[in-house]
């Protein structure tokens, strides 16, 4: 655990230290870019924070490569090298978009390129733990893996609309996923806790947290396309890697961790972004627009329009992310008959908190209407 904490700390320090420099650079290069109608802020804020996140992630991986504790992970470094190359591709296209707002299909091509690099480096979906369905055809292994990576990249990108939202969800999700991967490693081998999924989540946690220091409301800098695509890619790669690792494990040795967890946990972590993405695609398609066109119909927009402050809306979405992600992890250690009722009550409480502004507004409108009606009746009597 100490090695993972060290790697997280390195990624955190590097990302936190690089962000102010990139903010200063962004202020000079983006000063003349006009604000967009869907933007939630009223002043120019640089969008190069994702570059600092890439720097933190690469620094964490560099330190990890020198650790004897993680030597087993680097025995076959194809995935790590592929991730470095994919990050560089994301960095180029992300910075280009942050500076010049390029067409959506260029970004999609870059995402497909990054996903293909990862697939060719060995990140392929070979087995689905639900029912232990094996995917034997290499074409489908690559295709399914690329689909999940591109989907997750776009899901994180879609939810990145309020100060600290995407970075905070990344911190919550990577923390939960790290705990799961670490527990899995301990369950499989009590002497060797090295695990690629845990390593990826440790560096992502550090990089996201280091950036979040500067990005939480009021934000001084945004992560831009680079950071959103980085989070989505690393999350998806970790999920696929963990799922693939299960194929070689003896079910009895892994009996304390349900086989469906590698599918359930990533879904729980990115459920809100994927839900937002799905609703956006349906909404825009129904209006005859491109699914990749921008609007103000995202979940975070609805919360702000419903009465939440920017910070309040972000905290509500943090709450949902934390309940879903850590609730899924808790299924590994707490009996379902104990956990599910508690989890259900917490989810109901979160639901009540979420709709509270709308209920309060409706009651307020009714109260005002009733007061007006009484005033009119009194005037009639006079």
Contact 125, 240 (CB under 8 A): yes
Q: Is residue 344 part of a domain?
A: no
Please say if the pLDDT value at position 251 is more than 50. Answer: no
Instruction: Determine, yes or no, domain membership for 354.
Output: no
The proportion of the chain whose per-residue pLDDT surpasses 70, expressed as a percent, equals 70
pLDDT for residue 337 is more than 80 = yes
Residue pointed to by tokens 């005033």: 375
- Does 40 map to a domain? yes
**380 in a structural domain:** no
Q: Closest by alpha carbon to 294, among 2, 7, 38?
A: 38
pLDDT, residue 247, reads: 45
Specify burial of residue 143 (Cβ count, 10 A radius: 0-12, 13-18, 19+).
Answer: middle
Q: Which residue has the tokens 């030597």?
A: 71
Write out the two tokens for 64.
């990890």
Give 257's pLDDT tier (boundaries 50, 70, 90).
very low
Mean local confidence (pLDDT), 254-259:
46
Question: Between the ranges 52-66, 72-86, 122-136, 139-153, where is the mean pLDDT highest?
Answer: 52-66
Q: Is residue 90 part of a domain?
A: yes
374 in a domain, yes or no? no
Q: Is 157 annotated for ligand binding?
A: yes
How many separate domains does the chain show?
1
- 195 Cβ contact partners less than 8 Å away, ≥ 6 residues apart: 73, 181, 182, 184, 185
Cα distance between residue 226 and residue 54, in whole Å? 8
Helix 138-159 / helix 224-245 crossing angle, nearest 10 deg: 140
Q: Establish if 319 belongs to a structural domain.
A: yes
pLDDT, position 181: 84
The sign one gets for the Cα dihedral 363, 367, 368, 373 is positive
Contact (CB, 8 A) for 332 and 258: yes
The 10s digit of each residue's pLDDT in 177-209 is 898 888 877 776 666 677 888 999 999 999 999
Average pLDDT over residues 94-109: 86
- Give the pLDDT score at 93: 93
Range of the domain at 39: 2-333
Look at residue 101 and tell me if it is in a domain. yes
From CA 330, how far away is CA 261, in angstroms rounded?
A: 11
Angle at 230 (CA atoms; ends 226, 231), nearest 5 degrees: 125
């Amino acid at each position: 655990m100490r090695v993972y904490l060290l790697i997280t700390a390195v990624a955190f320090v590097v990302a936190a230290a690089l962000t102010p420099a990139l903010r200063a650079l962004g202020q000079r290069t983006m000063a003349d870019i006009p604000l967009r109608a869907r933007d939630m802020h009223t002043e120019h804020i640089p969008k190069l924070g994702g570059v600092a996140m890439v720097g933190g992630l690469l620094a964490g991986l560099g330190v990890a490569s020198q650790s004897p504790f993680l030597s087993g992970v680097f025995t076959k470094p194809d995935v790590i090298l592929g991730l470095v190359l994919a990050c560089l591709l994301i960095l180029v296209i992300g910075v280009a978009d942050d500076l010049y707002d390029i067409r959506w299909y260029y970004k999609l091509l870059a995402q497909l390129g990054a996903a293909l690099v990862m697939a060719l480096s060995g990140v392929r979906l070979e087995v689905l733990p639900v029912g232990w369905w094996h995917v034997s055809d290499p074409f489908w292994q690559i295709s399914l893996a690329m689909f999940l990576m591109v989907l997750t990249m776009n899901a994180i990108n879609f939810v990145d609309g309020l100060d600290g939202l995407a970075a905070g969800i990344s911190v919550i999700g990577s923390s939960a996923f790290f705990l799961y991967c670490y527990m899995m490693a301990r369950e499989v081998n009590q002497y060797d806790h090295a695990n690629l999924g845990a390593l990826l989540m440790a560096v992502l946690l550090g990089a996201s947290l280091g950036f979040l220091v500067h990005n939480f409301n009021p934000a001084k800098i945004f992560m831009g396309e680079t950071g959103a695509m980085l989070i989505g890619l690393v999350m998806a790669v970790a999920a696929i890697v963990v799922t693939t690792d299960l194929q070689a494990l003896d079910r009895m040795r892994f009996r304390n961790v349900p086989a469906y967890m590698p599918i359930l946990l990533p879904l729980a972590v990115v459920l809100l972004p994927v839900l937002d993405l799905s609703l956006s695609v349906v909404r825009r398609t129904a209006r005859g627009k491109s699914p990749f066109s921008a609007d103000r119909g995202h979940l975070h927009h609805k919360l702000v329009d419903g009465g939440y402050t920017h910070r309040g809306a972000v905290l509500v979405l943090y709450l949902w992310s934390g309940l879903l992600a850590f609730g899924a992890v808790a299924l590994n250690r707490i009996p379902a008959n104990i956990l599910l009722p508690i989890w259900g009550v917490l989810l109901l409480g979160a639901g009540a908190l979420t709709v509270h502004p709308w209920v309060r507004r409706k009651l307020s409108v009714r109260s005002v209407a009733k007061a007006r009606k009484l005033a009119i009746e009194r005037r009639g009597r006079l």
